[in-house]
Amino acid sequence: MTSFTIKLLRALSALLLWAGAAGVIAGALSPWAAIKILKSVDLSVPGALFAQGGLCLAAGVLVLLGLRRSPLLCLIAAIYTLGWVHTATVEVPRRVKHQAIGAQLALFPINRLLDQFHINDLEISDWSRPNEELLAPGLDWTNKGALVLLFGGLIGLPVDPIALFIYKWTARAKCRHCGATWLKSRHAEFCPQCGHGTAPADRWHCGVCHGDLGLKDKFCTHCGVVVVV
C-alpha cells in the first residue's frame, strides 16, 4: 500500500468519523418520541433522556474526543450504536406508553371527582396509538449517523494501528504442501516443518537464484537448476 493511498484512506476515514459522530450526537439530542398531552399539547422527548439515547450520545462524544484515532474502536462503537437504535425502536414507545399509563392512573382521584360534576375525564395521552406513530425523526438521524460512522471505521480499518497490531500477531500462514501453520509476522520463505517454499502456487520462485518459475517448469530458466516441488 503506497503512502498516498494510506494518507487518502486516513483523510477519508477521519472525515466520515467526524461526520458520523456529529450525526449520532445530533440525533441523540433530537426528539426520539413525540406524544400529544391532553389531546392538544405536543410533547417531544429527546433521545438523551432514554437509556439507549444516553449511550448513543456517549459513544458520539467519545469518538469526537479521541476515539476517532482508532477506526477499529469507532467501528465497534458504530455497531453498538446501531444495536442501541434498533432496541430503542421497541423500547421507546413502550416506555412512553408506560409513563402515560402511570400518569393517567395518578389522575384517577381527580377524574372521579370530575365525574360527580359530569365533567369529562382528563386524559394524559392516547396510549393505544401504534408504536410507529410515537417515534420521532431523531431516532432515524442517530441511525444514519451510526451508519456513516460504521463506513468511516471500515475505510480506515486497513491503516488502523490497533487492527494492524492484532493482524500481525494473530494472522497465520499455511503451507500448501504439509498444512503446517505459522505467524505471518515471521515472513518465512520456507515452511518450518517440511522446507518447501511458501510462495503462492501462482508465484513460484527458484530456491537458488529466486527467479520466477512457471507452474510446470522442471528447470529454472534463469540458473538451470532442477526445480524441487
Number of helices (H) and strands (E), helices first, in the chain?
A: 7, 4
Per-residue pLDDT of the chain (229 residues; tens, 9 = 90+): 577 888 888 899 999 999 999 999 999 999 999 887 766 677 888 999 999 999 999 999 999 998 888 888 999 999 999 999 999 999 998 888 877 777 666 766 776 776 777 776 656 666 677 878 888 999 999 999 999 999 999 998 888 877 777 767 777 888 877 888 888 777 777 888 887 777 665 556 777 787 777 767 788 888 888 876 5
Strands 181-183 and 41-46: unpaired
Please, are residues 60 and 24 in contact by the beta-carbon 8 Å criterion? yes
CB atoms closer than 10 angstroms to residue 77: 28
What does pTM read for this prediction? 0.68
Instruction: Tell me the three-class secondary structure of 18-54, residue by residue.
Output: HHHHHHHHHHHHCEEEEEEECCCEEEEEEHHHCHHHH
Q: What is the mean pLDDT of the chain?
A: 82
